[in-house]
Structure 1
Amino acid sequence: MTTPTFVAVGAYSAPRGRHAAPHRYAAWKVTLYRSGHIDALIDGAPYQVGPGTILTIPPHLDHAEVAHTAYSNYYLLLDAQPDLPWPRIAADSGNERLGSALAALVNESSTLDEHSPTMVDSLVNVVDVTLRRLAAGRTPSRARTIVNAVEQLLEERYGSRCLVADLAREVGVSTSTLRAMYGTELGRSPQARLREIRLHHAVELLQTSNLTLAAVATRCGYHSASHLTRHLKQALGRTPGAVRES
């Protein structure tokens, strides 16, 4: 199995009505749609695309987009053999979501150092294996796809203000529907997941950095150091100092 090689990566967003005219690349294009709803045309074949949808486009095929809403995506260009066993369309699912690898690639490309080539190669390998697994697996439910799309958004935005209503609007469902999907798929609410994600990153920073408590709170979306302290005590029964010592 020959691993694809990196060409380029990026994040893109567009308002409603900003359509993409037919275009093509000499490389494979892997696109993960993070929010919004569009119609994609690949070599004349239509695909309805929503949050969590993955499209893989072989080299030299025309690709166009009709933007019914504002939308955003990650895109990755790779040099690879033209007969890769990747699905043309799939849903981002599972514990190792493709969105996490693409977000890491976007971040890596903006902060290059001597280790970046090795990291990029590793992340490209993750993308390749994830797509092969998706091709061999079952298609997840719509609810699971929506939840995974929101999970990706929460991981990217936990340090800022996140409203469930805004997240629901971005993925094209009502607030009550999103809460119901979270209850079914994860057994908790979106707000509870956001608290878990914030707490996880706060604990990680306390244990691996010398940032002040106030700085950790700010980075992880808490209003103040006392706000973070209260949540740590409620969730873990420990003070920030005890967490840092451990």
Structure 2
Amino acid sequence: MGDGDRVRAWRPSVAGVVEVLHAEWRDHAYPAHTHGTWTLLLVDDGLIAYDLDRHAHAAVPLSGVTLLPPHVAHDGRPTSSRGFRKRVVYLEADVLDESLVGAAVDAPLILDDALRRASSRLDRALTLGDDPAAETHLALVVDRLAWHLTGRPDVTTMQAPAAVARRARELLDGDPATILGIAAVAQTLGVSTAHLVRSFTSSYGIPPHRYLLGRRLDLARRRLLAGEAPVDVAAATGFHDQSHLTRHFKHLLAVTPGQYRGAAPRNGIKNVQDALVRAR
């Protein structure tokens, strides 16, 4: 790589996402090639000129997203000496119907600020390793992409949002530790994940993955105050491991699970308050 070039890539553990790539290239031009995935491209700086299926296009900075379909040849090159900086999320070929490839070839640039914000949130969740958030944002992004590529169809026949939200909350409250994810809840309710996310958020002011996280943290707090070890609490309340519990616990309460457990009252409630103040 040349001076100033930077590349970071990884494979997340989120169904539907194959790879994430962050790249900053000053003078690199890549040759024509294909992917077996949908390529969701966000340009943060510079301008990328490219040919897609032998037609000239440009991926513009800070304006919408570019979506390149699977198995269609494309290349890429900077248009100035300052190069470009981009973020790319490669999506499994089956997250969008194969019939939408033609629409993506015809119009790969989608000028939709809401879609760009949702795609940025997806990229951030994948960067942070926040799988539940990434699952939620992926559903919204894919749904919005399909809406554009299918000509913005009317969706008034979907199940009533309030009823979907209420039934989802009942499921999340019923057994938060063993819920496999928001997509699993949506499947149980017979709706799309995107419809569930929108319905729940509009009804309760919080997306369902955050609501589920809150219920799990409630369970964790009760178990910690009962004297259970953080490693056991993490396993029993739906977190991947102790570090996953700790990250979210500190974000909520500014203390680790171990510190919170040590704040349990032994000589009165004042000990809890004092211990939490010292832990901060």
Shorter-chain TM-score bucket reads 0.3 to 0.5
Normalising by structure 2, we get a TM-score of 0.41
Greater RCO structure (CA 8 Å; 6+ sep): 1
Normalising by structure 1, we get a TM-score of 0.46
